[in-house]
Amino acid sequence: MAKIKYSIFSHQPSIYSNKWINLGILFYNVSENTYRFEYTTSWDKVIEFNGELDLDFLKTKLLAIKKEIESKNFISYKCNCIEDYIKFYVNVLRFSKISIEETEDYESFVKDIKERVLIRNMGD
Protein backbone atom coordinates (compact mmCIF):
# COMPACT_ATOMS: atom_id res chain seq x y z
CA MET A 1 0.00 0.00 0.00
CA ALA A 2 1.46 3.36 -1.06
CA LYS A 3 0.88 6.55 0.93
CA ILE A 4 0.50 9.55 -1.39
CA LYS A 5 0.52 13.26 -0.59
CA TYR A 6 -0.61 15.61 -3.32
CA SER A 7 -1.42 19.26 -3.89
CA ILE A 8 -3.26 20.87 -6.80
CA PHE A 9 -1.62 23.82 -8.58
CA SER A 10 -4.18 26.33 -9.83
CA HIS A 11 -4.59 29.77 -11.34
CA GLN A 12 -7.04 32.30 -9.93
CA PRO A 13 -7.04 35.55 -11.94
CA SER A 14 -8.33 37.66 -9.06
CA ILE A 15 -8.47 37.24 -5.30
CA TYR A 16 -11.95 38.74 -5.51
CA SER A 17 -13.21 36.05 -7.87
CA ASN A 18 -14.52 32.58 -7.07
CA LYS A 19 -13.16 31.28 -10.38
CA TRP A 20 -10.01 29.25 -10.81
CA ILE A 21 -8.55 26.63 -13.11
CA ASN A 22 -6.45 23.62 -12.13
CA LEU A 23 -3.14 23.52 -13.97
CA GLY A 24 -1.06 20.81 -12.30
CA ILE A 25 -0.71 18.32 -9.49
CA LEU A 26 2.30 17.79 -7.23
CA PHE A 27 2.54 14.17 -6.03
CA TYR A 28 4.77 12.81 -3.29
CA ASN A 29 4.84 9.03 -2.97
CA VAL A 30 5.82 8.78 0.70
CA SER A 31 6.27 5.01 0.50
CA GLU A 32 8.86 5.27 -2.30
CA ASN A 33 10.18 8.77 -1.47
CA THR A 34 9.54 9.96 -5.04
CA TYR A 35 8.13 13.22 -6.38
CA ARG A 36 6.20 13.92 -9.54
CA PHE A 37 4.57 16.98 -11.08
CA GLU A 38 1.94 16.52 -13.79
CA TYR A 39 0.48 19.48 -15.63
CA THR A 40 -2.07 20.27 -18.28
CA THR A 41 -1.47 20.44 -21.99
CA SER A 42 -4.96 21.80 -22.74
CA TRP A 43 -3.67 25.28 -23.52
CA ASP A 44 -6.78 26.29 -25.46
CA LYS A 45 -8.88 25.76 -22.31
CA VAL A 46 -6.42 27.79 -20.26
CA ILE A 47 -6.63 30.71 -22.72
CA GLU A 48 -10.43 30.36 -22.84
CA PHE A 49 -10.45 30.69 -19.06
CA ASN A 50 -8.13 33.73 -19.00
CA GLY A 51 -7.19 35.27 -22.33
CA GLU A 52 -4.88 37.78 -20.62
CA LEU A 53 -2.61 35.08 -19.21
CA ASP A 54 0.92 34.97 -20.63
CA LEU A 55 0.85 31.41 -21.97
CA ASP A 56 4.58 31.25 -22.75
CA PHE A 57 5.42 32.30 -19.19
CA LEU A 58 2.96 29.74 -17.78
CA LYS A 59 4.39 26.88 -19.88
CA THR A 60 7.91 27.84 -18.81
CA LYS A 61 6.84 28.01 -15.15
CA LEU A 62 5.10 24.62 -15.21
CA LEU A 63 8.08 22.96 -16.89
CA ALA A 64 10.44 24.58 -14.36
CA ILE A 65 8.34 23.25 -11.46
CA LYS A 66 8.36 19.77 -13.00
CA LYS A 67 12.14 19.81 -13.49
CA GLU A 68 12.75 21.07 -9.97
CA ILE A 69 10.35 18.62 -8.29
CA GLU A 70 11.62 15.61 -10.19
CA SER A 71 15.34 16.39 -9.86
CA LYS A 72 17.59 14.47 -7.52
CA ASN A 73 18.64 17.79 -5.98
CA PHE A 74 15.08 18.44 -4.80
CA ILE A 75 14.97 15.18 -2.87
CA SER A 76 18.18 15.91 -0.99
CA TYR A 77 18.10 19.72 -0.80
CA LYS A 78 14.46 20.34 0.10
CA CYS A 79 14.43 17.72 2.87
CA ASN A 80 11.58 15.79 1.24
CA CYS A 81 9.01 18.33 2.31
CA ILE A 82 6.25 19.41 -0.08
CA GLU A 83 4.70 21.31 2.82
CA ASP A 84 7.53 23.86 2.61
CA TYR A 85 7.62 23.87 -1.21
CA ILE A 86 3.98 24.83 -1.70
CA LYS A 87 4.27 27.81 0.68
CA PHE A 88 6.25 29.72 -1.97
CA TYR A 89 3.22 29.97 -4.24
CA VAL A 90 0.53 32.50 -3.38
CA ASN A 91 -1.94 34.77 -5.15
CA VAL A 92 -2.74 34.02 -8.82
CA LEU A 93 -0.64 30.82 -9.02
CA ARG A 94 -0.86 28.64 -5.95
CA PHE A 95 -0.89 25.14 -4.52
CA SER A 96 -3.85 23.78 -2.55
CA LYS A 97 -3.70 22.27 0.91
CA ILE A 98 -2.07 18.84 0.83
CA SER A 99 -4.29 15.77 0.62
CA ILE A 100 -3.13 12.34 1.79
CA GLU A 101 -4.42 9.03 0.45
CA GLU A 102 -3.35 5.41 0.29
CA THR A 103 -3.43 3.33 -2.86
CA GLU A 104 -2.45 -0.11 -4.09
CA ASP A 105 -1.42 1.19 -7.54
CA TYR A 106 0.43 4.50 -7.68
CA GLU A 107 0.37 4.85 -11.49
CA SER A 108 -3.40 4.27 -11.65
CA PHE A 109 -3.87 6.74 -8.80
CA VAL A 110 -1.91 9.45 -10.65
CA LYS A 111 -3.86 8.80 -13.86
CA ASP A 112 -7.21 8.95 -12.04
CA ILE A 113 -6.39 12.19 -10.21
CA LYS A 114 -5.14 13.81 -13.44
CA GLU A 115 -8.37 12.92 -15.24
CA ARG A 116 -10.54 14.24 -12.41
CA VAL A 117 -8.58 17.37 -11.55
CA LEU A 118 -6.64 18.91 -14.43
CA ILE A 119 -8.37 21.71 -16.26
CA ARG A 120 -11.42 21.82 -14.10
CA ASN A 121 -12.92 25.28 -13.75
CA MET A 122 -14.16 25.92 -10.26
CA GLY A 123 -16.80 28.46 -9.40
CA ASP A 124 -18.77 30.76 -11.65
pLDDT of residue 123: 43
pLDDT confidence band for 101 (50 / 70 / 90): very high
The count of domains in the chain is 1
The DSSP bridge pattern shows strands 2-11 and 34-39 to be unpaired
For residue 75, being part of any structural domain is answered with: yes
Long-range contacts of 51-55 (CB under 8 A, 24+ apart): 52/13, 53/11, 53/13
Q: Where are the beta strands (DSSP E) in 1-124?
A: 2-11, 20-29, 34-39, 93-95, 99-103, 121-122
Mean pLDDT across the stretch 63-81?
75
For residue 122, being part of any structural domain is answered with: no
Mean pLDDT across the stretch 5-12?
91
For residue 119, being part of any structural domain is answered with: no
Pairwise pLDDT comparison (72 vs 90), residue with the higher score:
72
For residue 81, being part of any structural domain is answered with: yes
pLDDT of residue 107: 92
* Mean of the per-residue pLDDT values of the chain: 83
How far apart CA 42 and CA 23 sit, in angstroms, is 9
Most confident of 50-54, 62-66, 89-93: 62-66
Question: Which residue range forms the structural domain that includes residue 52?
Answer: 2-111
For residue 6, being part of any structural domain is answered with: yes
Mean pLDDT across the stretch 8-21?
83
